[in-house]
Amino acid sequence: MVAVVVLAGGLPDRLASASAGSTPSPVLVDQVQDGTARNVILLVGDGMGDSEITIARNYEYGAAGSLPGIDALPASGQLTTWSVDRVDGLPDYVTDSAAAASGWATGTKTYDGALSVGIDGLPRPTILEMAQADGLRTGDVSTAPIQDATPAALLAHVTSRGCIGPSATTTGCPTEALENGGLGSITEQLIETRADLVLGGGATWFDEIATSGPWEGKTLLAQATERGFQVVTDVAGLDAVDHVDQSAPLLGLFAAETLPLRWAGPLATPLGGSEPAVRCMANPARVASTPTLPQMTGRAIELLDTGGETGFFLQVEGASIDKADHAANPCGQIGETVDFDEAIQVALEFAETDGHTLVLVLADHAQSSQIVPTGTTSGLTRTLLTADDKPMTVSYPTTGPAGGVVHTGSQVRLAAYGPGADRVIGLTDQTDLFVTMREALGIDRT
């Protein structure tokens, strides 16, 4: 098993030189000169806007500190995230995760809720499918259900992200249902797409019964097993896998739905900003038998990397930064950001040794949390005690019609290391990221 190495003692030499402020960075010059990569690792912090990064940095490392993964990348820019209205095609300034992920997955703007289809509802090929067709190995990792918006955008084409299993698809996306000649639910399409490995939560939907096709009457889990998938459900099972390929792809189902959060603590409340500052604590629901995001990332890289000329495309999502933000849960949000940062460190360790890997880090959209003056009690607030031993008040000022915290429309950070890293500098759009990855891997779109 690949060891999960956290760069607590400092960056590797080349990464350190990249972040030391030299002009131009020697690392970046090398990467501009050679923009072709054998591998691409795309790491997505769901809802990880600049504010979420700053909150996590302040809490864990202090205001003068740095996140060893996110802040180590030598090239950075900003990413616009808007989606489009399905009716008039005009901008929708605040995207959801489905439209956002579809943008970099296919290079096409679409409407909120859609997964890798255009506003016409027709499928668009994804970067994972194109990499697979070009002979690359492929992987998709998330702390969410693997049928959730970000991981599913690489694996499925549906007009509504809620069509996860056959029953929901029959009622909510009838044109996609297998019995109507469609591609099937997200879970059924995931099996059909057959990435070399898919790791995350979402076991619940594999218990659903196929309503049409060769496996009608059988559970989707039985279908996956009969079609050659290696199915694992815990760390021991993941560690025991010694290979993945198209004859034996890997399906890791480590939770019924979403994997447990890393940290726990009190939620933000209307008066939380005036209460004594608190520190976050380990979440007792997170047990050692469930792999963490850095562990899944390390194993995915080890299993996909052949050490030869065959490259790979891997997407890794820290999904619950966003989920905790929606719940006004600052400790959950910060812990998931730290967890995601450790996954980035794993990817950077590999890329530094490999020399042929482009690492890309981004958020799919911005979120609501803000650092406000301590003592503020407008909206939902909570005061935490940071690494500086200083109170920091976090506010969640946006509330949607259903009462939960909602996304915002700000641009977000996009950062990179490796061949082609210079492509992220400046202001780009999520759809541009598709081109960046395709060209870095030398994939011919035709």
Residues 253 and 231: beta-carbon distance below 8 Å: yes
Return the pLDDT at 238.
Answer: 98
Return the pLDDT at 400.
Answer: 73
The chain-wide mean pLDDT, for the chain, equals 92
pLDDT band for position 5 (cuts 50, 70, 90)? very low
Residues 180 and 174: beta-carbon distance below 8 Å: yes
pLDDT in tens, 55-104: 999 999 999 999 999 999 999 999 999 999 999 999 999 999 999 999 99
CATH class of this structure's domain 39-438: alpha beta
pLDDT in tens, 205-235: 999 999 999 999 999 999 999 999 999 999 9
pLDDT in tens, 117-170: 999 999 999 999 999 999 999 999 999 999 999 999 999 999 999 999 999 999
Q: What is the pTM of this model?
A: 0.93
Question: Does residue 378 surpass a pLDDT of 70?
Answer: yes
Active-site residue among 97, 185, 320, 368?
97
Contacts of 427 (CB under 8 A, 6+ apart): 77, 78, 79, 80, 411
Question: Does residue 369 surpass a pLDDT of 50?
Answer: yes
Highest mean pLDDT among 30-39, 308-317, 376-385: 308-317
Return the pLDDT at 25.
Answer: 52
Return the pLDDT at 444.
Answer: 78
Furthest C-alpha separation in the chain: 63
Residue 368 annotated in active site? no
Degrees, nearest 5: CA angle 93-96-100: 85
pLDDT in tens, 246-289: 999 999 999 999 999 999 999 999 989 889 999 999 999 999 99
pLDDT band for position 20 (cuts 50, 70, 90)? very low
Question: Does residue 9 surpass a pLDDT of 60?
Answer: no
Of residues 283 and 29, the one with the higher pLDDT is 283
pLDDT band for position 377 (cuts 50, 70, 90)? confident
AA letter at 397: P
Strands 370-372, 312-318: pairing kind: unpaired
Share of the chain above pLDDT 90, in %: 86
Return the pLDDT at 17.
Answer: 38
- Cα dihedral 271→276→279→282 (10° resolution): -60
Kindly list the domain boundaries of the chain, sorted by start residue: 39-438
DSSP-derived secondary structure letter, 278 = B
DSSP-derived secondary structure letter, 35 = -
